Structures are given as structure tokens and as C-alpha cells.
Chains A and B, each alone.
Chain A
Amino acid sequence: MIGGLFIYNHKGEVLISRVYRDDIGRNAVDAFRVNVIHARQQVRSPVTNIARTSFFHVKRSNIWLAAVTKQNVNAAMVFEFLYKMCDVMTAYFGKISEENIKNNFVLIYELLDEILDFGYPQNSETGALKTFITQQGIKSQHQTKEEQSQITSQVTGQIGWRREGIKYRRNELFLDVLESVNLLMSPQGQVLSAHVSGRVVMKSYLSGMPECKFGMNDKIVIEKQGKGTADETGKSELGSGKQSIAIDDCTFHQCVRLSKFDSERSISFIPPDGEFELMRYRTTKDIILPFRVIPLVREVGRTKLEVKVVIKSNFKPSLLAQKIEVRIPTPLNTSGVQVICMKGKAKYKASENAIVWKIKRMAGMKESQISAEIELLPTNDKKKWARPPISMNFEVPFAPSGLKVRYLKVFEPKLNYSDHDVIKWVRYIGRSGIYETRC
């Protein structure tokens, strides 16, 4: 298991050093500094073995976090733990910086003592930790016996991520469906590869221990319901689209009951308080591509290039896409560019070897065009211009995968509020990932 944990600043000075195992000596601290932080070459692996001691490191801004071990530990777990450690620190004191670490020196040692015991990660949910590790200092006599046992049962219990007794006057929840759509298209308009990676982020302000059930237009579920007796819950809820989507794979926050998902494909959970990422998913089928890019490149003689690019928006006319940017690469020997565009602003950026065309807003089912004349310097370079793809950035207010939230039901058996009392907000944002068209 993890033998020790060190935090360094960018100079390689140790800010925090906590050793859990006897086999890790003080020299390990220096070994990492010399061989990794001060290494002449760029580090080629996040795992380094120095004299039979393995160092795992991650970097946050200019702070290095290193876990050290001499055993055959679960490497994935060590990295997951380091990320978790960063999350916990961020939740306690904001940005991970040298100053913040120095100011919260005591707190960090306290946390390290709690979330890592003899190198074994323990409960590391901030919600639970905050109940008994605070910066104010707890006087034990101020706590009643019930309070104490409540803390311990929460830390060790099944629902370690939420504390009991949360109360809100207004029960409210926000769901964000954030997707990034990736595309590689041939000049002829053929899709070479396309996939959407999406996240459902939930922000909940709910009282008590609410039991939530989340439903979306997952093909498998819809088909199951179609076969069986019609389940009424699915129909009258938020955005009931007839279409269903095929999800390639999804992963869930630890609050989701995985065995229930595996058997019934229903997503049920008791959410942590505040913001968390409920699920991540990936789809590759029937993706709505918000924009189509049609390039036309013509070489006029050896010193001139004519480029015409048409973009078409392919979604409901009532919706507006934002922050549109098209990047048209130009050859290295470009000497001058003249651009004409119907909408937005276009500029040739010599340092980036590209024409950058920006449009602030664009409604659906519209089309816009840019044409450019590129003057080239004559060269005797035989090498042809590789014609890098045209790339695009945008943001649209819908989910390109077609994912729809069908319902999110909240039950709280103990407290007196029902599903209807909860105010629910759903938002869809589709962004471009790597969205490229070859020309």
C-alpha cells in the first residue's frame, strides 16, 4: 500500500511529508526531487521507479503530489486517491497553491491522518469529512453522544457521501447535461468518426436523505418498457421525446446503486449535497452534428490558393448556437490572404498558420460562407502541403447525442415534502470537442 505522501512546490521543496510505512525512509523525499522534479529531461512517465521505490506523481498548477511505495500496490487506486486528495483539498481551501498549502498545514495533516490509514485509503468524501474535520476546532464535550455516533456511522456507513439532518427551506435541484461532440469528416462529407462524450452534473439542495431516481431516453430502458406493461412514470415528465438513444458505455458516481443498474438499468441514488457528477457516458450512434463544414480548396497555379468554406447549421431554427469559430489552416509559405465573409469576423493569423473566422451567434438551419484568396511564395520545396483539417468550435443549447432527461424523481420518506415540491431545472449544453473536416 501507499508508504508515504509528499507535497512539493515547484522548486522541489517539501511542503508536506507524511510517512505511513517503515520501509520509506527520509531519503525517498530527496530521491524524487533529484530524479523527477529536477530531472534534466521531461518526465516520461507518471510512475517512476528509483532504487526499488516507486513514485506516483500528479501535478496541480506548480505543486507536485507524490505517493511513494515499495510494494506492488494497485496503481490505479493510487492515482485515484491522489486525484481525490486534490478534490478534498480544493473543497476545503480552494485552489491548490503553495500559499494555501502552507496556510492549511495543520488541516492537511489532519486530513491525511484521516483519509489514509497505514496507506489504505479510507472514506474520502468531503461531505462526510467536513462533519468532523473543521478548521474551527471541535471541543469534544460540545458534542452530544448522538452527534458523535451519527458522525461515525456516516463515515463508515453505506452512505458516506451525505450527512444526515440537512435542511433547506426550498428544495431545489439543477441538472446539467454537458456534452462534447467529436467529429472527423472527409472532404466529401462522409463521417469518418464521430462520438459524443457527455456528463450529467447535478447540483442538489435537498433536505434529509432523499432517494432519487433518474430516467433518460436510454434505448434499452425504453424498449423494455415498450415490451412490458406501459410504465406511466415515463410519459408526463420532463421533455418526453419519443426517440431513444443507444449509450455505448456509462460510469456513475459512487452514490448510484450499480447492481440495480445492472439488473434493471434504473439509476437510483441518494445524492451528495451540492454539486457532483452523476454520470459520464459515451455514444457513437445517431449523433446530431450541429454543423456541417463544406470546404472547397482550389490551387490556382503555383502561387495562389482559393479557399471557400460553407458552414451549415443543422438544428431547430429557434435555437441559437454561440461562440462559433472556424479555423482554416494555410500553407507555411503563405504571403498574404484576402478574406470575404458574409457573417462574423475573419482574420488571417500568420503565427498560427490559419484563418480564424468567428461568429458570435447563429440560428439553426442557416448557412454562411467565407471565401479567401491565399497568395503563396514560390518555393522549390518538393514537399506537398499536408492540408491539415479545418477545425471548428461552438456551443449549442441541446444535447447532440439526443439524450433527454425523462424524469428525476425525489422521495423523502421521513420529511414531509413530495416530488412535486422540488423545483427542478434542466439545462443542455453541447460543445465541440475535436470537430474536424478534412479538406
Chain B
Amino acid sequence: MQTDNLELKKLVYLYLMNYAKSQPDMAIMAVNTFVKDCEDPNPLIRALAVRTMGCIRVDKITEYLCEPLRKCLKDEDPYVRKTAAVCVAKLHDINAQLVEDQGFLDTLKDLISDSNPMVVANAVAALSEIAESHPSSNLLDLNPQSINKLLTALNECTEWGQIFILDCLANYMPKDDREAQSICERVTPRLSHANSAVVLSAVKVLMKFMEMLSKDLDYYGTLLKKLAPPLVTLLSAEPELQYVALRNINLIVQKRPEILKHEMKVFFVKYNDPIYVKLEKLDIMIRLASQANIAQVLAELKEYATEVDVDFVRKAVRAIGRCAIKVEQSAERCVSTLLDLIQTKVNYVVQEAIVVIKDIFRKYPNKYESVIATLCENLDSLDEPEARAAMIWIVGEYAERIDNADELLESFLEGFHDESTQVQLQLLTAIVKLFLKKPTETQELVQQVLSLATQDSDNPDLRDRGYIYWRLLSTDPVAAKEVVLAEKPLISEETDLIEPTLLDELICHIGTLASVYHKPPGAFVEGGRGVVHKSLPPRTGSSESAESPDTAPAGVPAADQPSVIPTQGDLLGDLLNLDLGPPVSGPPVATSSVQMGAVDLLGGGLDSLMGDESEGLRSDVGGSPAMGGGSGGFAPAPGTAVPSNTGAPLGSGLGDLFDLTGGVGTLSGSYVAPKTVWLPAMKAKGLEISGTFSRQVGSISMDLVLTNKALQVMSDFAIQFNRNSFGLAPAAPLQVHAPLAPNQSVEISLPLNTVGSVMKMDPLNNLQVAVKNNIDVFYFSTLYPLHILFVEDGKMERQMFLATWKDIPNENETQFQIKDCSLNADSVSSKLQGSNIFTIAKRNVEGQDMLYQSLKLTNGIWVLAELRIQPSNPSFTLSLKCRAPEVSQYVYQAYETILKN
């Protein structure tokens, strides 16, 4: 090690790096030389020593590293400084605490203002990496001054340094559009750099900051124009880089299609492109296909369909089908092209063509059925499940036009058990369809398939579908016809678009692996490193940012946050059960994981119809626990009753009335919490739902705002609740009058009643909701404030109150503190009265105001309350007595919410 031969020294150091870990004690002997070398007159040796020391990951050595590193960070030679900057990142990786304690981070920050561009670049890289593992820390304190320094260094440093700086710039959030524009102006020259990574990183910065520029700005248009040529040029790079560029262009095209809309030709596939480039180009071609260029695109695609690579050919054929669905005017040409391809009799081409023709039939019903005959000729050559299933679907769907449909299907039936599930299911459906269309000739066939599916098959899906058909057909053939031959929803135009919120995140990761995989970094990076969620800056000047959704009110505990239900399976079972299960009697058939002591109370609860109050008090606990084991020692759950006379029947009428008045009508009703986001757009393919609950003059409603943040129009909305503790259910269907266009939102007030099925939830006020639209079904759960269930006739007579208070055992009494409330007794009682909590008596005991209050829930449970108010003390004491003590906690929450708002 003491040698002055630099080359030899390097080799020794390399050896140390590799073997230090296995022999830490030996490595420690080298420390002295390292420290000595860090003071060598030759800067190359100083840098080498500090670089190597950082790579020796032995704890004992790192301690000795601190002093030399500190010196090297302030070395006069830039080469040493730039090496030391990276060494801080190395040390941080080994011992983060040490780096913070030694103050290296501040020194590193100072290096950002270094005179040497390469030192700046390495310092930026090191700080960015350290900052990534501490997302909260404000390490890279980016402000206009430091940004300016970075932009200056950008012009001078090496290509790699430029990448570090640009990637760092992309994390900055300019404070207004003018700053964004000035940064963009200084970044645009990088678009002509020969290094593709510099270009892509510059594109990332521009794409991100563009979000902040107003579209009316001249500069916005110029910038769009400037972006296209460099992106096209990336396609002349080496194939691996082309691949990275294409994956990114795929994202850019989805985000801002206007940039490359005229550049279709450059994505035409070249004969000697590697396969991965070809497939990506094809994808982008379809995205860019429009009426203007469709002829060219089709000619190309037809060309590709005769290539050799099977995957590529398949994708090309599929692309033709997608063009047909996307550009209506071209559909006819696409179909004839597909027919030409079928004529080639190349097995996989034919199969792929049939699969896409099925989709075209779906999109344009009753238009191209003339081609069915040609398709039928190729029946024998189909050997892939998907193609067979598609063909069977076509035969079943158009059975009335195919004379020998029964023969065709029968031929498939022979080898029924050898088919894949997909084909079996399709065959079953197709034969049932055929039977419904031509009942006379096909009775035997349908019986055969039903028995095959139900008796001889082990597949539960197949068996169940078989049984459903069988029962449908045997009980009500007319209904069966309606169900099986129902009109199908149209298929959407753009398939496999990336969901908008994910797309925005990926735009922030242009050039990186995330953009290559089209996955957020969290999906492939281990641990916390680099998974900081990035998002595009909000567009300035648009109305969206002004009315950002309010966060949950302060008084509501954190658990109140809406949550999206993760396990859909269980819930789905429940929702199904809600539809099909018997409405009143019997214990619930399906049990979900969330239910603790599931109680079916309707049977018993019905008799506790609230005629007079005493009866209501007498027994509101009618049901019996269905899952006794799970709820051992648990007091009986609240009973259910048909709501009292002021409830739902009247409610739905009034609900309509309030629809007209919209949100203004809160004056007469109880407190309404501000709307919170229940279902974020990210989890629901672009549908965002926010809402709140309100009660006005006896009617409960759920006030919703549906916002479409996807790219496609949403329609066919419907809503359904899972069974819940108080039987809340929609009183009317969810009515969205017009389809919801992208970026539009609609406010709906959905009237609710409490006659739905009951199941105890945990927490008690949990409501699981399913919302359906033309895209999918989404599930979320939310907590409703209990005060929406406080009925208007909840005022108890004095004597009654006293008697009941005594009657309820003391262990049912719960005490709560309501803190920081500065109201006096009178305003408290008037405020509470607005939400149907009635003050029965008021006493003044030793300077304290005692309010005695009563309230009644929609299911007839009475809750009695004593509220102690001390004039000097902002904390109230609330004692609640109830026969079903588990509601107390939620009543308390309601109190708190009402009083604090």
C-alpha cells in the first residue's frame, strides 16, 4: 500500500474493497495508510483514498473516515471535492446518523454553490439521494436562488452532471407560472444535446412545469412545438435507448397527444428494428391513429401482419381491430382488411382476426354480420382458447342468422371436457342463446350442455352458470330471454389507457425505470428508497384548485377518515346477498369478515313499532345474536324498527323538495359536515366521490359530488349499500341525468331511508357503499355521523325521563368529556335542538348548569343525557344512559361534532 505506483495502489485498494467485509480486522490495519493518503500532495491519490474508504463498509473504519472526509470536502482541488461529495452519500448509506451528527449535510449543501460545475453536480446527486431516504426533511432546500445556481451549472457540467441537475430540478415546484416559464426557457437548449438521457430529463422538467403554464400563453404553444423534434430524434438512437424513449413517448402521447399528432410516420416499423422496438412503435401508432391518418396506418398494419415474428403479427392484427373501434369511419376498411388476412389462412393470423372481429361486432352491432359466413369457414383451424371462445360467442350471438348454428355448436360440444374453461363457459352461454332463439330444434342440445356443465364438471364457475341457466329456463323462459339476450353495454373506445392519476405520477418519472415499466416506483423498489409519491403541480388559473375538497373537520377523530374497502370479495358476497337473500326472516346467509356480532334483528325488531314512548323504551332489543361466539359478553345490539311516522315515507317526498333547494336548506336541519372525499379517483378508475350526510325535517340524505377525472365519459350510475347497523338504504335510485363528461362533476342529493336490512357493523356507524358506472363497480366505506338518525319526536316527558333514567342500570352509563367548548347552556341547548337533541330540563347546581336531554334514534333506541356545564370551564361533562350502551360512544361523537361547528 505504501507504493508510489498509482496503478498498483489502485489494485491494492480494489482488493481491500472486495475483501474488507470478510476480514474486517485486517482491513482496519489499512486505515493508517488511508488517512495518510488523504493528505498526499497528489490530488489524484487524495481522491482515490477518500473514494475507496467510502466503499469499505466496515463500521470501525467509518469512524476514522470522518476527519479525512471533512478535510477533503474543503480541499482546494475540485477533483477531490467532487469525489468527497459522493463519499458523503456513501457514508450516509452506511451510517446515516453519523453523517447528520458530523454536520456533513451542511457542508454538502455549501458545495451546491461551488465554483466547479462537476462538484455542484455531484453534490446535487448526493443530496438528492440522501433526501430520498428522508422524504420529510428539507435537505434539498430548493428556492429561486439555488435553482438559479443549478441552472447556471447546467450549462457547464458534463453530460452526466446535467442529468443529475435536471432530475433534481424536476422535483422543484415553482411558485408561479412566470418562474416556471423562466426555468423552461433555460432548460429548452438541453433538448439538442446528443445524450438521450439529458434530452429525456429535460423533457421531464418541461412536461412537469408546462402543467403550470396557461394554455393561452404564446410560450405554451412554442414549447409544445419545441418538444416534438427532439422526441422524434430519440428514435434514431441505439435500439435500447429507442426502447426507453418509446416507453416514455407512450406516456407523453397519452398525456399530451397534441405534441406528436403529426408525427405518425416516424413510428412506422422498420424491417430490422428489434422486436421490442417494433411492439412499442405499434402501440404508439394505435394511440396516434385518427381519422386523418387512418388510411396510412391501416396500410402499414396490413404490411406488418405478413411479417415473421408471431407476437408482432398478432399485435398488428389486434391493432387493426383497435383502429376499427377507435375511428368509426375506418371500421369498414378495417373489417375488409381483416377479411383479407383471414384469407391468408395463416393459423395465428386467422385466430387473432376472429378475436378482434368479435370486438368489432360488439362496438357496431348489426353492421358487419355479413362476414360471419367467412368466419365460419375457418372454424376448424382454431386451436387457441381465446379464438375458439370468440368464435363461439359470435355463433351464439348471431345464431338466428347462421343456418347451421346448432351443428356448429354441436361439433364443439363433442370435446367439451377437453376445452379450457373460457371456451366451456362461452359454449354454455352460446347454446342457451341459441335455444332461446330457436327453441324447437335445439332442446336436446341445450339439455346436453346443461347436464355436461352441471353434472360432469368440477369447475364451480361452470356449474353455477349452468344451474342459473337451468333454473332460469325452467322457471321463466321469458325472463331468461330478457336476461340472456339483454342488450350489451358498448365497449369503450380506448383500451389499455393508463389511469390518469398514475399517468401523472409516471410523467414525473420520465426517463427512469418507472416510466419503462409503466409502474410507480413503489411497485419494484424495495423499502422506502425512492418511492416518494410525486405528482404534477396543479394547473394555475383553473377553477379546480380553488375549490379543493375540505379536509375532515377538526373534531372528528382520525378513524373517521373514509377508507376504501380492500377486500372486495367479502363485500361482494354481502352485496349479492342483499339482492338475492330473503329480506326478512332467517339469519344472514353470507357472513363477512367485518361483522362482529351479526344480529338479524328485523324479526324481533318489527314488533317494537313506536306507538308510544314507553313501549319504545320497553324493548328495543329484540333480536338474537346470530354469531354468539364472537360476541360473548357483548351487550345486545340495537334493535331495528320501521321508522316512526316522521321517517321515510314522508322523507322521500321532502327529499325531492330539498333537491331543489340544494345545499341551502341546512338552516332548518341538523348540522351538516363539510364534504370529504370518500372515494379517491386513484382507486376508482378516475371516479371521485365526495360527500356528506344531512338530515332535514325528518329526511336523511346523502349529498354526493361525483367527479369524473378519467378520460372517458361515465354513465349508468347506480348505488347500493351493504347491510348496516341502522338499515340505511337509498330511498330512490341514484339519478345522474346526463352522462358525466371528463373533468365534470355533478352534485346529487340521495334520499335515504332506514328500512334496509340490518347487520351490526364495526364501528357501528360504518357504511359500506358500492357505486357502479359503465366502467366498473367500486367499493368504499364511510362513517356517517349518528345525529342524522336522531328523529324529530325524540323529546321525552319529564316523568318518563326520570323513570327511565332510574330504570336503566348504572353500568349502562358512560361519561365523556367535551373539551374546549365555550358556549353557554342556552346556546348549547338551542344548538343541539337543531339536531333533534331535546333539552327536557335545566337545573343549576352549585354554579353548574345541568342539562337533561333526550334523543331517539330511527330504530327506536332512546338515549338519555346529562350535560354538565361549568361557566368557567370550557370542558363539558356528558353522561349518557342507554339500554344499548354501544351507541353511546357515537352519540358522544355526534354531540361533539354539533357543538364544535
Chain A residues within 8 Å of B, Cβ to Cβ: 1, 20-23, 42, 44-47, 49, 52, 54, 56, 58, 69-77, 79-83, 106, 109-110, 113, 117-118, 120-125, 132, 137-141, 143, 145, 148-149, 151-153, 155-158, 160, 193, 197, 248-254, 257-259, 261-262, 277, 279-280, 282, 382-383, 386, 434
Q: Do B511 and A75 touch across chains, with their CB atoms under 8 A apart?
A: yes
| Nearest chain A CB to B354 CB, angstrom units | 19
Docked complex Cα distance between A39 and B200 (Å): 31
Which residues of chain B from 521 to 565 have any CB-CB distance to chain A below 8 Å in the complex?
521, 524-526, 529-531
Tell me if B44 and A151 are in contact (CB < 8 A). Answer: yes
Q: Is there an interface contact between A282 and B78, defined as CB atoms closer than 8 Å?
A: no
Chain B's nearest CB lies how many Å from the CB of A193? 5
Partner-contacting stretch, out of B64-72, B158-166, B839-847: B158-166
B240 contacts A253, C-beta separation under 8 Å = no
Known: A138-B7, A140-B6. A74 touches B42 (CB 8 A): no
B51 nearest CB neighbor, chain A only: A117
Query: In the complex, what's the smallest C-beta–C-beta distance from B252 to chain A, in angstroms?
Result: 14
Contact of A138 with B6 in the complex, beta carbons under 8 Å: yes
Given contacts A47-B244, A140-B44, A262-B192, 15 further A-B contacts (CB under 8 A): A54-B524, A69-B513, A75-B513, A81-B160, A118-B86, A137-B8, A140-B5, A143-B42, A156-B82, A157-B116, A249-B232, A250-B233, A254-B193, A262-B188, A262-B189
B125 on the A face (CB < 8 A): yes
Spell out B's residues near A (CB within 8 Å): 4-8, 10-11, 14, 40-45, 47, 51, 54-55, 57, 77-80, 82-83, 86-87, 89-90, 93, 116-119, 122, 125, 129, 155-160, 163-164, 167, 186, 188-190, 192-197, 199-201, 229-230, 232-233, 236, 238-241, 243-245, 265, 270, 275-276, 306, 311, 343-344, 509, 511-517, 521, 524-526, 529-531
Pair A155/B524 contact, Cβ less than 8 Å: no
| CB-based contact A118/B42 at 8 Å | no
Q: Do the beta carbons of B244 and A76 come within 8 Å of each other?
A: yes
Question: A72 and B238 in contact (CB under 8 A), knowing A138-B7, A140-B42?
Answer: no
- Closest A residue to B157 by beta carbon equals A158
- Choose among A54, A143, A193, A386 the residue that contacts B513 (Cβ–Cβ < 8 A): A54
Do the beta carbons of A76 and B511 come within 8 Å of each other?
yes
With A109-B14, A156-B119 as known contacts, state yes or no: A75 contacts B244, CB within 8 Å. yes
* Interfacial chain A residues near B42, Cβ < 8 Å: 140, 143, 148
With A138-B6, A434-B270 in contact, do A118 and B236 touch (Cβ < 8 Å)?
no
Contacting pair B192 A120 (CB below 8 A): no
Most buried by A among B119, B167, B265, B516: B516
Contact present for B192 and A152 (CB under 8 Å) = no
Is A74 touching B7 in the complex (CB atoms < 8 A)?
A: no
Contacting pair A77 B232 (CB below 8 A): no
- Main secondary structure on B side of the interface with A: helix
Contacts of B6 in A (CB 8 A): 137-140
Q: Please pick, from A74, A106, A139, A149, the residue contacting B197 in the complex, using a CB distance under 8 A.
A: A74
A254 and chain B: residue at smallest CB distance: B159
Contact partners of A42 in chain B: CB under 8 A: 275
Least CB distance, A252 to chain B, in whole angstroms? 6
Q: Within the complex, which residue of B40, B238, B524 is in contact with A79, where a contact is CB–CB below 8 Å?
A: B238
Shortest CB-to-CB span from A201 to chain B, Å, is: 12
A1-B129, A118-B54, A251-B230 known; A22+B93 contact, CB < 8 A:
yes
Compute how far the CA of A83 lies from the CA of B194 in the bound complex, rounded to whole angstroms: 13
Shortest CB–CB separation between residue B273 and chain A, in angstroms? Answer: 12
- In the complex the two chains form, is A156's CB within 8 Å of B78's CB? yes
- Given known pairs A124-B160, A262-B189, the reply for A49 and B232 (CB within 8 Å) is no
> Is A254 a contact partner of B244 (Cβ separation < 8 A)?
no
State whether A52 and B194 are in contact (beta carbons under 8 Å apart), knowing that A75-B244, A152-B44 are contacts in the complex: no
Specify the main secondary structure of chain A where it touches its partner: mixed
Partner of B243, one of A47, A70, A81: A47
- Which residues on A sit within 8 Å (CB–CB) of B8? 137
Cα A277 to Cα B344 in complex, Å, equals 47
**Which listed residue (B40, B41, B45, B524) contacts A52, Cβ 8 A?**
B524
Contact A79 B244 (CB under 8 A): yes
Q: Give the residues in chain B near A143, CB-CB below 8 Å.
A: 42
Which chain A residues border B118 with CB–CB below 8 Å? 122-123, 155-157, 160
Q: Are the CB atoms of B529 and A120 closer together than 8 Å?
A: no
A74 near B240: Cβ-Cβ < 8 Å: no
CB neighbours (8 Å) of A22 from chain B are 57, 93
Q: Which residues of B contact A386 (CB under 8 A)?
A: 306
Contacts of A117 in B (CB 8 A): 51, 83, 86, 122
Looking across the interface, which residue of chain B has its beta carbon closest to that of A257?
B155
11 pairs, A vs B, C-beta closer than 8 Å: A72-B524, A74-B197, A75-B512, A81-B160, A83-B241, A151-B79, A156-B116, A248-B229, A280-B233, A282-B233, A386-B306
Bound CA span A148–B186, Å: 35
Least CB distance from B10 to A in Å reads 6
Given contacts A49-B517, A52-B525, A117-B51, contact A149 B160 (CB under 8 A): no
In the complex, chain B residues whose CB is within 8 Å of the CB of A138 = 5-7
A74 / chain B contacts, CB cutoff of 8 Å: 163, 167, 197, 200-201, 511-512
User: A72: which of B89, B196, B521 is its contact (CB, 8 Å)?
Assistant: B521
Shortest A3–chain B CB gap in Å is 11
Interface pairs A-B: 4 shortest CB-CB: A249-B229, A152-B79, A262-B189, A76-B197
Do residues A140 and B14 form an inter-chain contact, with CB atoms below 8 A?
Answer: no
Contacts of A71 in B (CB 8 A): 513, 525, 529-530
Please, which residues of chain A bring their CB within 8 A of the CB of B157?
Answer: 158
On whether the beta carbons of A73 and B158 are closer than 8 Å, the reply is no
- Bound-state CA distance A252–B200 (Å) is 15
Q: Which chain B residue lies CB-closest to A59?
A: B240
Provide the residues of chain B in CB contact with A124, threshold 8 Å: 158, 160
Contact of B343 among A58, A106, A382 (CB under 8 A): A382
A113 to B155, CA, bound (A): 26
* Closest B residue to A134 using CB positions: B7
Point out which of B192, B194, B265 has the most chain A C-beta atoms below 10 A from its C-beta. B194
Contacts A73-B512, A74-B201: A79 and B241 contacting too (C-beta < 8 A)?
yes
Residue of B whose beta carbon sits closest to that of A141: B4
Contact across chains for A44 and B275 when beta carbons are under 8 A apart: yes
Residue in B77, B116, B155, B306 whose CB lies within 8 Å of A258: B155
Q: How far is the CB of B12 from chain A (nearest CB, A)?
A: 12
* Contacting residue for A47 out of B57, B125, B513, CB 8 A: B513
B236 touches A72 (CB 8 A): no
What residues on A are CB-neighbors of B43 within 8 Å?
148-149, 152
Bound CA–CA A15/B342 (angstroms):
50
Which of B55, B79, B197, B236: most chain A CB closer than 10 A? B79
Q: How close is A126's CB to chain B, nearest CB, in angstroms?
A: 13
A254 & B158 in contact (Cβ 8 Å cutoff): yes
* CB-defined contacts of A248 to chain B, threshold 8 Å: 229, 232
| Most chain A CB inside 10 Å of its own CB: which residue of B4, B7, B515, B526 | B7
Contacts of B530 on A, CB cut-off 8 Å? 71-72
By a CB distance below 8 angstroms, the chain A residues around B80 are: 152
Contact residues in A for B82 (Cβ distance below 8 Å): 122, 156
**Please, how many angstroms separate the alpha-carbon atoms of A285 and B159 in the complex?**
31
Please determine whether B236 and A280 come into contact, CB atoms closer than 8 angstroms: yes
Q: Is the CB of B233 within 8 A of A45?
A: no
Across-interface contacts of A249 in B (CB, < 8 A): 192, 229-230, 232-233
Cβ–Cβ contact A158 & B199, under 8 A = no
Q: Which of A70, A106, A250 contacts B526 (CB 8 A)?
A: A70
Give complex CA distance A70, B77 in Å: 33
Query: How far apart sit A190 and B673, CA to CA, in the bound complex (Å)?
Result: 69
Alpha-carbon separation in the docked complex, A140 to B189 (Å) = 41
Complex interface: chain A residues within 8 A of B86 (CB) = 117-118, 120
B58 to chain A, nearest CB (A): 12
Contacts of A80 in B (CB 8 A): 159, 195-197, 241
> CA of A257 to CA of B189 in the docked complex: distance in angstroms?
9
Of the candidates A73, A77, A158, which one forms a contact with B117 in the assembled complex, judged by CB atoms under 8 Å apart?
A: A158
Instruction: Quote the shortest CB–CB distance from B515 to chain A (angstroms).
Output: 7
B5 touches A137 (CB 8 A): yes
